[in-house]
Amino acid sequence: MISFDRMPSSDYVVLGAGMAGLTIAREIARAGRSVTVVERGAQVGGLARTVRRDGFAWDLGGHRFHSNNPGVVRWLEGLLGGDLLRVERRSRIYLRGRFIDYPIRLTQAIRAFGLANAVRGAASYAAAAVVNHRERAVTFEEWVTRRFGRVLYETYFKPYTEKVWGIRCHELSAEWAAQRIGVPSLLNTVRQAVSRPAVAPATAVREFRYPRSGYGAITDRLAGEIDRAGHTVLTSTTLASLRFGDGGAVVGVAGEDGARRTIDCGRVISTVPLGALLGAFAGDPDLARTAADARLDYRGIVLVLMAVDARRISPDTWTYFPESSVVFGRSHEPKHFSPAMVPRENVTSLALEVFASPGESAWTSDDRDLIARAAGDLEGIGWLREESLLHAHVVRVPFAYPVHDIGFADRLARVTGALGRYPRLSLLGRTGAFMYRNADGVIEDCFRLAAALGLRQADGVQPLPADEGRWV
């Protein structure tokens, strides 16, 4: 039998030190309650962290912060103050050997695809715009083709989406499309196609907030405030067991050195992958069976982070690469987010996102081979000369995005229904609640949960009904 040393008890235990976990932990600390945060990684932040090497800094993905919620904006400004920059967004798509601005302009579409194909795309979009959309779309393919037409779907949405998720578009839920893709009116689309509008449409944010020293400054600042308030953030620590009783819960954790400890607490808030959470319920065979049947998968991502001896590689904040001939699906140049992301003005860097999950070829590839493949693709595009690559390294993130495939909502409901027997457990965040959220949406969810638990006012967001407070 494994023995566990007992740690000091805590009002709350938060599993995971990403954006969601640290935000709710800070709210708990500010409310005068005790909290212990348990993080498997050696560094806090999860996907919202910044990697540094030799004066260069890269985020794990091209993160931006934008919110229409004044309460969320005030929260970020209060956390980071003068360290927040305003950054202009410029996005392009690389298609058929050409870079095309997003939103797409008609003159570029004609050059890239030819007049006949550009006209076909416009006609396909116009035809889709007059279709009655009241019939519920089930798949991603149905949702997109009904709103953007078959030509735009086949040209961009299909190849890029299948590259990101590793599954066919007819296997992906329409719910994901509805959350992630803005639908401009036909009139606005025509205006954008002819010339760049003076005022950005609501579906294409032209400016966003960004921390001067990298996106990880948000989670670093949160962790620092939690620590200074006298609370505990355990890193390199794995959830080993979870047991609930009438008065609270006992959380078993294992350190990197193999040491086992337990934490008594009144409530557990989980932001970790559902498999890791459910696996800790060793004494609940019904829950284990439900978890096995649920098949709730996450998509991984492999980051190729490059330092480059050049002043600039592209004018873009983000560039999208839908074609399968290029190993990465998206790139961003950190210098365009903040000059502090590079050590000096005459160098730059790139973060390349290769969408792959454990077991796939890009995931299991040797780092040197993957870097060489990515560098070769960049050279073919015209962005990189081999001799200008100063150094590069690879970071793998196994649980980057919840996969919203067909039927996921019903399977998720079965899991959360089974967890309903544990009223002192809350699921939170993109990973923990298996809901796709941007950072501002994650923070709003934290505010809602904090309000439902009596820790704070809703602060500009709608409070949850009492019976929904557990599943934010």
Taking the alpha carbons at both ends of the chain, their separation in whole angstroms is: 36
Mean pLDDT of 177-198: 53
Q: Evaluate whether 267 touches 286 at the Cβ level (below 8 Å).
A: no
HEC per residue, 164-189: HHCCCHHHEEHHHHHHHCCCCCHHHH
Least confident window among 13-27, 78-92, 98-112, 133-147: 98-112
Task: Calculate helix-pair angle for 106-113, 186-194, nearest 10 degrees.
Answer: 70
pLDDT digits (tens, 9 = 90+) for 366-391: 999 999 999 999 999 999 998 999 99
Token representation of residue 213: 């020293």
CATH topology for 5-48+214-297+406-471 is: FAD/NAD(P)-binding domain (3.50.50)
Token representation of residue 17: 């030190």
Mean pLDDT of 439-465: 80
What is the spatial distance between Cα 142 and Cα 171, in angstroms, rounded to a whole number? 11
Q: What is the pLDDT of residue 126?
A: 75
Mean pLDDT of 56-66: 92
Model-wide pTM > 0.85: yes
Mean pLDDT of 229-240: 96
Token representation of residue 39: 């993080």
Band of pLDDT at residue 194, cut at 50, 70 and 90 = very low
CA angle 455/456/462 to nearest 5° reads 120
Q: What is the pLDDT of residue 111?
A: 66
- State which amino acid sits at residue 158: K
More confident residue, 468 or 16: 16
Would you kindly state where each structural domain of the chain is located, as residue ranges?
Answer: 5-48+214-297+406-471, 104-204, 298-402
List b or e across 221-234, with b for residues whose CB sees 16 or more CB atoms inside 10 angstroms. bbbebbeeeebbbb
The distance of Cα 270 from the centroid of its chain, to the nearest Å, equals 17
Can 104-204 and 298-402 be said to share one CATH topology?
no
pLDDT digits (tens, 9 = 90+) for 196-222: 544 444 345 678 999 999 999 999 999
User: How many residues are listed for the chain in this entry?
Assistant: 472
CATH topology for 298-402 is: Polyamine Oxidase; Chain A, domain 2 (3.90.660)
Neighbour count for residue 438 (Cβ, 10 Å): 17
What is the spatial distance between Cα 247 and Cα 238, in angstroms, rounded to a whole number? 24
What is the spatial distance between Cα 312 and Cα 384, in angstroms, rounded to a whole number? 10
78 Cβ neighbours under 8 A, 6+ residues apart: none
More confident residue, 404 or 465: 404
Token representation of residue 106: 């008609």
What is the spatial distance between Cα 333 and Cα 267, in angstroms, rounded to a whole number? 41
Band of pLDDT at residue 103, cut at 50, 70 and 90 = low
Neighbour count for residue 272 (Cβ, 10 Å): 27
**In the structure, how many helices (H) and strands (E) does the chain have?**
17, 19
DSSP letter for each residue of 341-373: GSSSTT-EEEEEEEE--TTSHHHHS-HHHHHHH
Band of pLDDT at residue 340, cut at 50, 70 and 90 = very high
Phi, psi of 276 (to 5 degrees): -65, -40
Residue 120 above 50 pLDDT? yes
Token representation of residue 328: 């990465």
Which of helix, strand or coil describes residue 5? Answer: strand
pLDDT digits (tens, 9 = 90+) for 277-321: 999 997 788 887 887 788 899 999 999 999 999 999 999 999 999
Token representation of residue 311: 């002043």
* Selection from 265, 285, 267, 278 nearest residue 239 by Cα: 278
pLDDT digits (tens, 9 = 90+) for 256-269: 888 899 999 999 99
Evaluate whether the domain defined by 104-204 bears CATH number 2.40.160.
no
Unique residue bearing structure tokens 């959470």: 277
Q: What is the pLDDT of residue 156?
A: 84
Q: What is the pLDDT of residue 202?
A: 38
